[in-house]
Amino acid sequence: MKPSLKHIIGFLLTILSYSGFSQPLEVCDTCEITSLKSAISAAKDFDTIVVKKGTYIEHNILVDKPVTIIGENYPVIDGESKGEIITIVSDSVTVDGLYIINVGNSYTSDYAAIRVKRSKHFTIKNLVLEKLFFGIYLEKSNYGKIYHNKIIGDAVQEYNSGNGIQLWYSNHIDIEHNYITQVRDGIYLEFSNNCLIKNNTSTENLRYGLHFMFSNYDTYQDNTFENNGAGVAVMFSKNIKMYNNLFKENWGTASYGMLLKEINDAEIIGNTFKENTIGINIEGSNRILYKNNNFSNNGWAIKVRGACYTNKFLENNFLYNSFDVSYNSKVNDNIFDKNYWSNYTGYDLNKDGIGDVPYRPVKLFSYIVNRTPETIILLRSLFIDILDFSEKVSPVFTPDNLQDQNPLTKKIQW
Amino acid sequence: MLKILKYSFFDLMRSRWSYVYFAFYLLLGIVLLFLNNDLSKAVITLMNVIIILVPLIGTIFGVMYYYNSKEFTELLLAQPLKRSSIFLGQYLGVALSLSMSLILGLGIPFIFYGLFQSSAIWDFSLLLVTGTFLTFIFTALAFNMALSNENKIKGFGYAILLWLFFAIIYDGVFLMSLILFEDYPLDKLSLVGTMLNPIDLSRTLILLKLDISALLGYTGAIFKKFFGTNFGLITSLSMLSLWVILPVLRIVFKAKRKDF
């Protein structure tokens, strides 16, 4: 028998499939393997495990070899609230398309739906997590990707709830297109550098939509943070880039769009702050560039608490905020230039688009409110308007060098 | 009393000033709606106007009407009529016609704009209710001033001064006392201070109903807790009613003893 081309190809394919491209291991109720755990123990390195649609009651699943776990039509992994569900301790693991519910709640250990421990090059995508304590927990793991996950918590109180995505000593992580709601912190970074957080939506979380602690050189852009307990908190970090995010309706007695505390050398460009009680709350933050941001309909657009030096506020739009800028001291070392202020009442005789009279963004009333918070009850009173007017004419209490020398007369479009 | 009320009411309805007042609110409503197309924003702007203008106009109208119709009042006094019904009738006539101008003038443009489909309808109703209360309160205060002063100029001056006091001076004193006692817990004081001035009370009521309430921050939580609840609303409305009743009682009391 002459070996035909067909035979040769068939032979080659057989060899190939045995050597590298082995059949995916299938997990389903009627398959040979009926649980994810046994599939992992049966799998060899770089195998693919396909989990078919169904419900799998499992917890403490340890992924200790580089495998790809793919769920078909969102199989349910039910942890029955007994503890952690999937723990990844190997490099190059991919988890895709699972529906993980019922993570155990504990006051002593942080159970997560998926925990990645000391691993690299992992990909976690297309997961749906519900009834969780912690969602995705990265622990000293680097170079990972977290894409397209949906994390829906049911947190009620801060002390007994966990975070949606938590990074701890994890660098170079990409977090994109996730949707996180009703957990404590939507995304929490602690000691994590060089991460990219992009296109995520974080809403209705108890505490912060996004929270940085001691994390440097990170970028977050094009995210939406809506109606969180207190927006986004960036604390004790350096060189964070914040681009084109939307901070919306973080509205409550102690809410703000963004909280900056001990932040140095950051860039805040192109963000929109809309209908927050406080747009940005700044404390002890230096050398920050605020450019091309939109602040509209906030209670306070920017609240400066103190120890903030050499910050630049350039070409922002301040639209219809109750208070544009609030200061609690007379010292000012920050620059406001070429912003558009909707409360500006000056004129532009030479029609170059720049107002001829400098604008003072700090009102006397905001100074008074800082000193005696109860006086806020007089908001929008005629007396206060008169007071503000007289202070505007001759500043006594507010920093007299705090002014925008070139206020624009038209809203900036970009 | 009803007859006199009716007479005063229709007398005012025929007068030019009622129409001017009505037209002013009509214009204001239309302009506001056309300018920013946002109903809740318009309500906020309206609040600023109502808080200041309604008491002022109530005061001026009240005093003016009393002095203008003085001869007619003296004629009525010669008839077998109760004094209280004469003065109450006149007072209610003025207050009602002013309130009607306010409600119709603001209501018509807002209804055409589609108020009934909007969620702002409660804010708007509250606005009109407080506006009506302020009209009644300041008209009553104006009548008091006019009754106590034979001299027109004096009466007019005192009435305006009273308005000035409640609209501006009170807030100044209030602010000073808050700052002066800033080392002490101030929530009770500020609550009481607000309750005592009808203009402040109306302003706070409307502000808290609007979205702006969260602005008040932690310190505002206590106001929100008080004014935001039904109990607070009822207390505030009864406080406003008290502000109507007390001056009216004084009108009756003063009218009985007054020598014409």
DSSP letter assigned to residue A217: S
Token pair for B15: 């007068």
Question: Beta strand pairing status for A267-269 and A241-243?
Answer: parallel
Over the stretch A12-67, which tens digit does the pLDDT of each residue have? 555 444 444 567 888 888 888 888 899 999 999 999 999 999 999 998 999 999 99
Q: How many other β-carbons are positioned within 10 Å of the β-carbon of residue B1?
A: 15
The predicted structure's pLDDT at residue A201: 95
Facing B218 at nearest CB: one of A254, A375, A377: A254
CA atoms of B170 and A195, how far apart (whole Å): 56
Q: Is B175's Cβ below 8 Å from some Cβ in A?
A: yes
* Mean pLDDT, range A312-339, rounded to an integer: 88
Q: Do A373 and B217 touch (CB under 8 A)?
A: yes
Over the stretch A130-154, which tens digit does the pLDDT of each residue have? 988 999 999 999 999 999 999 999 8
Q: Is A380's Cβ below 8 Å from some Cβ in B?
A: yes
Q: Is A366's Cβ below 8 Å from some Cβ in B?
A: no
Find chain B residues with C-beta within 8 A of A322's C-beta: 212, 215
Q: Do A322 and B215 touch (CB under 8 A)?
A: yes
Residue in B with minimal Cα distance to A382: B168
**Is the entire prediction scored with pTM above 0.90?**
no
Q: Which distant-in-sequence residues (6+ apart) come within 8 Å of B171 by Cβ?
A: A378, A381, A382, A383, A384, B197, B200
| Smallest Cα distance from A377 to chain B, Å | 7
What ipTM does this complex have? 0.83
The predicted structure's pLDDT at residue B218: 59
The CATH class for the domain spanning A35-393 reads: mainly beta
CA atoms of A21 and A44, how far apart (whole Å): 11
Rounded to 5 degrees, what are φ and ψ at A141? -120, 140
Task: List, as ranges, residues 232-291 from A with C-beta within 8 Å of B.
Answer: 251-255, 275, 277
Q: Which segments of A218-277 are extended strands (E)?
A: 219-221, 224-226, 232-238, 241-243, 246-248, 258-264, 267-269, 272-274
> Which stretch, A191-200, A295-304, B88-97, B200-209, has highest mean pLDDT?
A191-200
Task: List, as ranges, residues 41-70 from B with C-beta within 8 Å of A.
Answer: 47-48, 51-52
% of residues, chain A, pLDDT over 90: 55
